[in-house]
Amino acid sequence: MHKLVHLQLCLISSFDKSLHDKNYLNHSWFNLVRDVSCWGAHICSRSNQLDTPWELDISLAPIPKITHNEKRFDVVLDSVAEKFCHLVFQTQRTPYIMWSGGIDSTSILVSLLRVANKELHERLVIVCNQASIDENPYFYHRYIKDQLRTVDTDQFAVTPENYNKILYVNGECAEMIFGSTHPHNLARLGQLDLLNHSWRDNALLSRSMLTKNQHALEFGLDIIKESIKYSPVPIETIHDFLWWHYFNFKINDSLTRIMLTVADQLNDQQATEFWKDSYYLFYMRPEMQIWSMITNNHRREHMHIDYKYDAKNYIYQFDLNDFYRNNKQKHVSLIARRADGNVFAIDQNWRRYSFNRVDDRRLLAKWLGKNTHAD
């Protein structure tokens, strides 16, 4: 039985445009990811099982129960860093920190510089390149150069030889913890008040998610609305709704997409072990997810400044670089290499399905209820 943790709808439809045709039974799923902003290539809910045409496995990252009420970002991120330091010494693995110079990876590195002792600083390996330095030159020259070990992005890879000897860290999923760029963009467009209205106002809710495909929009909104009953926290405003959309629906897509890149040299068993034991996601630790769930109102208040206000302020309190705090904008994250563009699915055993294999194409045809992919 093939229970999927990732299905690349955008990639699949690029090979077969007829999947968007209204005469195709499952066209709504493909039109949703193509025409409505803020949906990933893979549609999966962390809170409830979706009625998809293909069988999905349970979420890779279930939503944790709320077990703390700490709303201070610095306290929570520092606690995650402290636990990571303990894990480094416990496992005796080498920690590799993917540093792009961006807000997410810089906040993680700041947390380690704040709480780690000298011995752990000496163990850290910072994976970066010239683009990383250009994105945050002050931080590089002040805190990394000649002080921490570094390796160029092009010289590092997760391999069968090192995957079980390292702890791999990046800033993945921070975007979903902070909310999304969408409410921030609405705020900057002078529509901040829109975020404070009830999401049950369908006209205003539709306005907040710009698209010309009304059918795709309504299809997606129905999926989100059905999931709200499973949310651990109240969803009342449009801001809450947009946050929940990202927090509940985009995390699995982000995690599996990055795994296609990071674990591309590993076989299925090695990828499973790497995911379980070697990939340490600071922003996906239960403490950080809970912080996101209990600080929605606080983050909405700072939305007009920046949806990553807390992380920027955290960095500023450490390096006092007000230029970075006041001017840093979102850029594409650091990625060591491109993923195989022919992999269209991953199952619960981390088996990757590729357009390069005839048997995989036949399986895809079966999942889609079509025969056009079999040859």
Measured CA to CA, the distance from residue 374 to residue 364 in angstroms comes to 8
The residues, ordered by sequence, that sit 6+ positions from 187 with a Cβ below 8 Å of its Cβ are 195, 303, 304
- pLDDT at residue 228 greater than cutoff 50: yes
> What is residue 210's predicted lDDT score, i.e. its pLDDT?
65
pLDDT at 332 over 60: no
The pLDDT of residue 327: 86
Which pLDDT tens digit goes with each residue over 3-33?
Answer: 999 999 999 999 999 999 999 999 999 999 9
Which tokens is 99 given? 């540093």
Predicted pLDDT of residue 373: 39
Q: Are 40 and 185 in contact (CB under 8 A)?
A: no
pLDDT at 211: 74
Min mean pLDDT across 34-38, 245-249, 253-257, 329-333 is at 329-333
Q: Which whole-number Å values give the CA distances from 54 to 51, 350, 368, in the listed order?
A: 8, 17, 7
pLDDT at 374 (0 to 100): 38
pLDDT band, very low/low/confident/very high, at 371 (cuts 50, 70, 90): low
Which option is the CATH number for 64-345: 3.40.50, 3.30.1300, 1.10.3470, 3.30.70?
A: 3.40.50
The 8 Å CB, 24+ separation contacts for 349-356 are 349/268, 349/272, 350/5, 350/259, 350/263, 350/268, 350/269, 350/271, 350/272, 350/275, 351/268, 352/260, 352/268, 355/15
Q: What is the mean pLDDT of residues 59-84?
A: 96
Per-residue pLDDT tens digits for 267-321:
999 999 999 999 999 999 999 999 999 998 888 777 766 788 999 999 999 999 9
Mean pLDDT throughout 207-211?
75
Which pLDDT value is given to residue 43?
A: 95
- The pLDDT, as a whole number, for residue 306 is 78
- Which residues does 193 contact at the CB level (< 8 Å), separation at least 6? none
Q: What is the mean pLDDT of residues 245-270?
A: 94
Distance, in Å, from the CA atom of 279 to the CA atom of 84, rounded to the nearest integer, reads 11
**pLDDT value at position 370?**
74
* pLDDT, position 304: 67
Per-residue pLDDT at 375 exceeds 80: no
**What's the token pair of residue 1?**
């039985």
The whole-angstrom separation of Cα 227 and Cα 237 is: 15
Q: Which strands make up the sheet holding 125-128, listed edge to edge?
A: 149-152, 125-128, 94-98, 166-170, 279-281
Is the confidence at residue 340, as pLDDT, over 90?
no
Kindly report the average pLDDT of the chain as a whole number. Answer: 91
Write down the pLDDT at residue 197.
92
Listed by start position, the domains of the chain span 64-345
What is the percent of the chain where pLDDT is above 70?
A: 95
> pLDDT band for position 199 (50/70/90)?
very high
Q: Kindly report, residue by residue over 121-146, the tens digit of the pLDDT.
A: 999 999 999 999 999 999 999 999 99
Q: For residue 176, is pLDDT > 90?
A: yes
* 180 pLDDT more than 90: no
